C-alpha cells in the first residue's frame, strides 16, 4: 500500500505544469495571491498538492487481498487475491476491475475522496478534477507495477460515456478527464467516440443491484466496430458502485469484437 510519502512525491513529480514554467518570483507571488488548498479541508498547501496529509490519511487505498475479477477488497487483510462469491456465481464480462481507493470511509469519518468527486462532478470544480485525474493515473501505474510482471498492455483507453443530455448539463465527461490522464501516463491513445450512451439512464445510486443492471441494459453502442475489433481496451470511470455500468460497457465492447476489456476507476464503493 503506498504511503503518504508515495502520494506526496507523485504530486510533486506531476507539477511540471504552467506554474512551474514561470520564474520563482512569479510563482511565489501567485502562490500568495491564489494559494493551493486541500480539496477537503481547504488549508493552504504547496502548489499542485491535492490533499493535506491529514485528509490524505482518511483516503483508504484499495489493495490486496481483493477479488481477482471485480477488485472487491476482502475484510480479512491476509491471504492471496481470489475470486469473490458474487463473481464466482455470475462472472463479469470484463477481465478485471481495479480502483484507486474506497469511495466512502466509515460513517462519521471525513470523506475527502467522495467530497472531491462530488465537487468535480456537480460543482464543476476543475481543480478537483485535475488533481483526481493525476492521482488516479498515478495509482493506475502503481497497480500495473504491482501486478508482478503481468501488467497488461492496452491499445486504447475508453472513458465510460455520458448521454448527450447529461454531457450538455455538466459540460464535460468526468471519465474522459480521468481517461486522458491515464492515457498520457501509459502513452496510449484515448478514444472518447468509440462507445456512446444511446439513452439517458436514471441515477444508479438508489436502485437495487438487479434494477441497476436493467437500467443500463442496452444503453451503450459501439460507433465504429472496426475500431474495437481485436483491441485490448482499458475502460475508465470515476466510481465503481455495483459494476453494472462497466459490465454493460464491457459486454457491448466484447459483442463488437474487443479482444479484452479491463476496468479502472478512481473510486470503488466498498461494502465491508
Residues at the contact surface with Zn ion, assessed by CB under 5 A = 38, 40-41, 52, 55, 67, 69-70, 72, 84, 87
Facing residues of 232 across strands? 260
Instruction: Provide the minimum distance between the beta carbon of 170 and Zn ion in the complex, in angstroms, as a whole number.
Output: 26
Spatial neighbors of 104 by CB under 8 A, at least 6 apart, are 111, 114, 269, 270
Min separation Cβ 45 and Zn ion, Å: 8
Q: Which is nearer to Zn ion, 159 or 243 (CB)?
A: 243
User: Which of 65/192 has CB closer to Zn ion?
Assistant: 65
- Please answer whether residues 187 and 220 qualify as being in contact, where contact means their C-beta atoms are separated by less than 8 angstroms: no
Q: How far is the CB of 225 from Zn ion (least distance, A)?
A: 29
DSSP per-residue codes, the chain: ---HHHHHHHHHHT--SGGGGS-HHHHHHHHHHS-EE-TTT--EESTT--S-HHHHHHS-B--SSBBTTT-PBPSS-SS--B--HHHHHS--SSS-EEEEEESSPSTTS--HHHHHHHHHHHS--HHHHHHHHHHHHHHHHHHHHTTTT-PPP-SEEEEPPPPHHHHHHHSS-HHHHHHHHHHHHHT--B-SSSEEE-S----GGGS-HHHHHHHHTT-EEES-HHHHTT-EEEEEEEEESSSHHHHHHHHHHHHTT-SEEEEEEEEE----
Q: Which is nearer to Zn ion, 81 or 155 (CB)?
A: 81
Work out how close the CB of 84 gets to Zn ion at its nearest, in angstroms, rounded to a whole number: 3
- Whole-number minimum distance, CB 258 to Zn ion, in Å? 20
Our CB check for Zn ion shows the closer of 67 and 246 to be 67
Nearer to Zn ion, 38 or 101 (CB): 38
The residues facing 260 across adjacent strands are 232
Nearest approach, Cβ of residue 41 and Zn ion (Å): 3
Quick one: 115 or 221, whose CB is closer to Zn ion?
115
Q: Which is nearer to Zn ion, 176 or 267 (CB)?
A: 267
CB 88 → Zn ion: shortest distance, Å?
8
Distance CA 140, CA 127 (A): 20
Amino acid at each position: 500500500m503506498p504511503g503518504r510519502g508515495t502520494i506526496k512525491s507523485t504530486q510533486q513529480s506531476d507539477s511540471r505544469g504552467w506554474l512551474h514554467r514561470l520564474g520563482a518570483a512569479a510563482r511565489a507571488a501567485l502562490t500568495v495571491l491564489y494559494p493551493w488548498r486541500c480539496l477537503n479541508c481547504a488549508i493552504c498547501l504547496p502548489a499542485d498538492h491535492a490533499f493535506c496529509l491529514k485528509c490524505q490519511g482518511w483516503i483508504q487505498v484499495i489493495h490486496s487481498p481483493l477479488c481477482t475479477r471485480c477488485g472487491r477488497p476482502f475484510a480479512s487483510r491476509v491471504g492471496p487475491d481470489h475470486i469473490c462469491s458474487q463473481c464466482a456465481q455470475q462472472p463479469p464480462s470484463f477481465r478485471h476491475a481495479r480502483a484507486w481507493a474506497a469511495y466512502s470511509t466509515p460513517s462519521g469519518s471525513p470523506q475527502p475522496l467522495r467530497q472531491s468527486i462530488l465537487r468535480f462532478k456537480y460543482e464543476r470544480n476543475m481543480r478537483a478534477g485535475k488533481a483526481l485525474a493525476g492521482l488516479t493515473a498515478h495509482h493506475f501505474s502503481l497497480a500495473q507495477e504491482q501486478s508482478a510482471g503481468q501488467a497488461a498492455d492496452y491499445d486504447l483507453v475508453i472513458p465510460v460515456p455520458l448521454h448527450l443530455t447529461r454531457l450538455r448539463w455538466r459540460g464535460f465527461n468526468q471519465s474522459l478527464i480521468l481517461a486522458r490522464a491515464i492515457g498520457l501516463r501509459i502513452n496510449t491513445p484515448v478514444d472518447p467516440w468509440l462507445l456512446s450512451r444511446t439513452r439517458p439512464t436514471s441515477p444508479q445510486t438508489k436502485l437495487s443491484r438487479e434494477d441497476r443492471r436493467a437500467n443500463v441494459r442496452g444503453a451503450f453502442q459501439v460507433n465504429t466496430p472496426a475500431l474495437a475489433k481485436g483491441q485490448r481496451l482499458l475502460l475508465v470511470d470515476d466510481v465503481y458502485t455495483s459494476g453494472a455500468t462497466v459490465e454493460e460497457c464491457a459486454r457491448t465492447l466484447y459483442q463488437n469484437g474487443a479482444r479484452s476489456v479491463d476496468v479502472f476507476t478512481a473510486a470503488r464503493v466498498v461494502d465491508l
